[in-house]
Structure 1
Amino acid sequence: MKLTIVGGGGFRVPLVYGALLDKAERLGLDEVVLHDVDEARMARIAPVLQGLEEERGGRLPFRATTDLDDALEGADFVFCAMRVGNLEGRVADESVPLGHGVLGQETTGPGGICFALRTIPVMVELAQKIRERAPGAWLINFTNPAGMVTEAVQQVMGDRVVGICDSPSGLCRRVATAVGRDAGELWFDYFGLNHLGWLQEVRDGEQPLLDGLLRDEAALATFEEGRLFGGDWLRTLGMIPNEYLYYFYYAADTVNAIKQSPHSRGAFLLEQQAAFYAQNGQGPAEALAAWRKTRHDRERTYMAEARNAAGDCGEHDLDENAGYESEAMAVLEAIALNTRAVLILNTANRSALPFLDARAVVEVPAIVGRSGPVPVAIGEVPAHARALVETMKDVERTTIDAALSGSEELAIKALALHPLVPSVTTARELLAGYRARIPELKQTFGS
């Protein structure tokens, strides 16, 4: 089996490689190729991977290349995590809206629209190249905004594209722990879009468990979403939202918290990763230690602005054994070995959410085997959640159309329709601000 990692110089590639080391023999994996447009970044990541190899006593040869055709030729699986515009783009995604008193949020907010506008054309080109060089390959997409990107790329590759995110499974594991159970024993009724979903029930067979958890203040205080949203609001909803819904339910609070912060998360990551990548030339053990320290500092600031707004000054709960690399490996294993595992994924709706059409990409539980994900029917959902999902799906599709057509009119429409953007005038100002800061948008949408 050949696996290609596009974005092979990315900071989180060692997480993926570490997961591959544990599974390579079982999967029959004999070739791993890293591809990146930045050779220096791959040169920095390579000794980190070698350090993992030495530490684990395993062996999984890899090679790095800037030649995309070579990287993709004959691949069975392609993992992709790229950031078009680099972290400088993320800083703009977040900061331009803040200048207008609007929350940017680089995946679910207007910042996510800007991110998608420059990312989708590149991802569609990649999908076309995969179809030419590796027509039988599965693309497992980590690239954000994951739902939007997956839906755009499915226009080229159909159902052979699967989007992943570790937020839903992380929520489910934390809830399982809070009710004193193992997650593998339970069924989780989760539905929505990427970074816009809700856990509406937890079941042990026919026995519902969520209501008991929502009435238990002490149990809610043991996990991140319980502390973030608070018991009163969770009981009002009758569900537990994905952590990213904090940006919708508490948008003004988050903007105020960010304004009091010395720097945005994007700015923090830009400075932190610049320092890490500048340390080229280290040996494997030293490189691995530097990467781990940087990762720890990175993860503890995850969603810090939301936690600060909620008055939760604790650090992010870092699960060393789970993350997006575990989700990617679970999908790869389920398809390659036909395990029919149940995973929460970004995939074509079919009939999972009856109020959306069959091709809309949603984030729901799916049974995954050799033919890919088959989403589970969710049925009716609470009215306010349905309304927000429908609105955001329209925003997503308008953004996709704008990205692929280069239409300024559609880009403004997508921004104006977003619930966090207060007016059409603000939408126009946001696009103008993004265009001035981000070269890819200036080129696409004019000066």
Structure 2
Amino acid sequence: MKLTVVGGGSTYTPELVDGFARLRDTLPIEELVLVDPAEERLELVGGLARRIFARQGHGGRIVTTADLDRGVEGADAVLLQLRVGGQAAREQDETWPLECGCVGQETTGAGGLAKALRTVPVVLDIAERVRRANPGAWIIDFTNPVGIVTRALLRAGHRAVGLCNVAIGLQRKFAGHLGVAPADVHLNHVGLNHLTWETGVRLGGPSGEDVLPKLLTGHGDTIAADLRLPRPLLDRLGVVPSYYLRYYYAHDEVVRELRTKPSRAAEVAAMERRLLDMYADPALDEKPALLAKRGGAYYSEAAVDLAAGLLGGSGSPYQVVNTYNAGTLPFLPDDAVIEVQATVGPTGVTPLPVPAVDPLFAGLMANVTAYEDLALDAALRGGRDRVFRALLAHPLIGQYAYADTLTDQLIAHNREHLTWV
């Protein structure tokens, strides 16, 4: 089995490699290819990756290359974890929206749209090259904004599934609170990428006992603190929202916070410099503890599970993925990309039935779905008016004066990545 990671020079990659090494019985990889144009960085990450495999007794071969076509040739699955423009572009995404009093964030709002406009054309080019090299290969997208990127891939006819680590992170936390194994916790996870709610937490599988009320009663304070939302809000909602919902439920509070502290991009950039210094140490043969602060917790386990299921291995029967709605949520278009529990196998993913969704959540999902449709149109066809329409549709913006100003700022900060400017 051959797997290729595009964006393999990311400081995330040792987390992924550690999972491949630990879970080799679930996903037996013979060759792992790390592809990245930043060759110096790639060699540091690749060296650590080889040492991790060696330490854990994994016999697979690790190859590094800046040549995308060589890297994807013969791959059974290709994982996408790229960041067009790097942390410098992220820094901009997180700062200029604040000038209008809007959230500055890399996956939602105006910053999220900027990232989508930079990313979608690049990802579609990569996917076409994967298809030419191996039409049967699966594409697993971890590149944000996952919902929009996955929608672009599916519309273009690629064998693609989107992946996010929010659900697996909550599963692990809930299992700890309940004193059970993570595999025993099944989430009734519903929404769009970075716009999800846990409407039930079941023990043993989709039809098991719902212990969400017990979780909220016994551990509500801890869960609320993790989400940085007030406990009474969780009690009134009766669900556990993802931490990204804080951008919606406490927008103005978040903007005030973001204006008074360094951006997350600046923090991550400093952390990456430290991590790369560590990776250069030939004695390091395991992922460093600092990597846990980089983000992407449990990404490796989610990726292994998904790849194993798609490639006929022993992945979990139910997994949270991003895929076409196809009637699962009747209030959304069939070609919307939703994030829900699904069965996973070599023929693809099939969403599980979802109970009726509270209008409080369904309304926001419908609004953001409309934004994502407009955002994808802007990413595919370009044009100032399309960017403006997407920004005007986003519930975190919604006012024409803000949308007008943000459109100009987005274009000004991303000229080098927008072919239509």
The one-letter code of the counterpart of 1:427 is A
Deviations 1:13-40 (A, max 9, x none): 1111112223446544222111111111
How far residue 11 of structure 1 moved from its aligned partner, in angstroms, is 0.8
The aligned counterpart of 2:214 is 212
How far residue 147 of structure 1 moved from its aligned partner, in angstroms, is 1.0
How far residue 64 of structure 1 moved from its aligned partner, in angstroms, is 1.1
Cα distance in 2 for residues equivalent to 1:367 and 1:269:
34
TM-score (norm 2): 0.93
2:242 equivalent to 1:242: yes
Cα distance in 2 for residues equivalent to 1:143 and 1:399:
16
Where does the alignment leave 5 or more consecutive residues of structure 1 unmatched? 303-321
Cα distance in 2 for residues equivalent to 1:59 and 1:391:
48
Cα distance in 2 for residues equivalent to 1:393 and 1:227:
23
The aligned counterpart of 1:326 is 301
The aligned counterpart of 1:428 is 404
SS at match of 2:288: helix
The one-letter code of the counterpart of 1:284 is P
Cα distance in 1 for residues equivalent to 2:18 and 2:179:
29
**Alpha-carbon distance change, 9 to 242 in structure 1, aligned in 2, over 3 angstroms:** same
Deviations 1:131-182 (A, max 9, x none): 1111000001110011110011112234x20111110121133223324443
The aligned counterpart of 1:295 is 291
Give runs of aligned pairs for residues 392-407 of structure 1, distance below 5 A. 392-407=368-383
Contact 1:24–1:60 (8 Å) recurs in 2: no
The one-letter code of the counterpart of 2:220 is L
How far residue 231 of structure 1 moved from its aligned partner, in angstroms, is 2.3
How far residue 388 of structure 1 moved from its aligned partner, in angstroms, is 0.5
Cα distance in 1 for residues equivalent to 2:222 and 2:390:
38
2:168 equivalent to 1:169: yes
Cα distance in 2 for residues equivalent to 1:139 and 1:130:
8
Where does the alignment leave 5 or more consecutive residues of structure 2 unmatched? none
Cα distance in 2 for residues equivalent to 1:31 and 1:9:
17
Contact 2:4–2:71 (8 Å) recurs in 1: yes
**Alpha-carbon distance change, 440 to 326 in structure 1, aligned in 2, over 3 angstroms:** farther
Cα distance in 2 for residues equivalent to 1:208 and 1:296:
30
SS at match of 1:154: helix
Aligned residues between the structures: 417
How far residue 255 of structure 1 moved from its aligned partner, in angstroms, is 0.9
The aligned counterpart of 2:253 is 253
Cα distance in 2 for residues equivalent to 1:381 and 1:183:
25
Cα distance in 2 for residues equivalent to 1:75 and 1:157:
18
Cα distance in 2 for residues equivalent to 1:437 and 1:203:
45
Give runs of aligned pairs for residues 93-132 of structure 1, distance below 5 A. 93-132=93-132
Contact 1:220–1:227 (8 Å) recurs in 2: no
**Alpha-carbon distance change, 242 to 148 in structure 1, aligned in 2, over 3 angstroms:** same
SS at match of 2:174: helix
The aligned counterpart of 2:184 is 185
The aligned counterpart of 1:86 is 86
The one-letter code of the counterpart of 1:164 is L
- Percent of aligned pairs with the same residue? 33
Cα distance in 2 for residues equivalent to 1:94 and 1:72:
32
More displaced 10-residue stretch of structure 1: 58-67 or 175-184 = 175-184
The aligned counterpart of 1:284 is 282
The aligned counterpart of 1:319 is none
**Alpha-carbon distance change, 439 to 269 in structure 1, aligned in 2, over 3 angstroms:** farther
Cα distance in 1 for residues equivalent to 2:272 and 2:181:
36
TM-score (norm 1): 0.87
Cα distance in 2 for residues equivalent to 1:176 and 1:359:
33
Contact 1:354–1:380 (8 Å) recurs in 2: no
More displaced 10-residue stretch of structure 1: 80-89 or 221-230 = 221-230
How far residue 410 of structure 1 moved from its aligned partner, in angstroms, is 0.9
Contact 1:33–1:62 (8 Å) recurs in 2: yes
Cα distance in 2 for residues equivalent to 1:378 and 1:398:
26
Contact 1:3–1:75 (8 Å) recurs in 2: yes
SS at match of 1:122: helix
SS at match of 1:192: strand
How far residue 106 of structure 1 moved from its aligned partner, in angstroms, is 0.9
Cα distance in 2 for residues equivalent to 1:328 and 1:297:
19
2:365 equivalent to 1:369: no
**Alpha-carbon distance change, 181 to 293 in structure 1, aligned in 2, over 3 angstroms:** closer
How far residue 10 of structure 1 moved from its aligned partner, in angstroms, is 0.8
Cα distance in 2 for residues equivalent to 1:93 and 1:250:
19
More displaced 10-residue stretch of structure 1: 197-206 or 23-32 = 23-32
**Alpha-carbon distance change, 14 to 338 in structure 1, aligned in 2, over 3 angstroms:** closer
2:310 equivalent to 1:335: yes
Deviations 1:316-359 (A, max 9, x none): xxxxxx61111110011112235461001111112221112222
**Alpha-carbon distance change, 24 to 432 in structure 1, aligned in 2, over 3 angstroms:** same
How far residue 230 of structure 1 moved from its aligned partner, in angstroms, is 2.7
The aligned counterpart of 1:310 is none
Contact 2:107–2:113 (8 Å) recurs in 1: yes
SS at match of 2:387: helix
The one-letter code of the counterpart of 1:345 is V
How far residue 385 of structure 1 moved from its aligned partner, in angstroms, is 0.6
2:142 equivalent to 1:142: yes
Cα distance in 2 for residues equivalent to 1:26 and 1:170:
20
How far residue 444 of structure 1 moved from its aligned partner, in angstroms, is 3.1
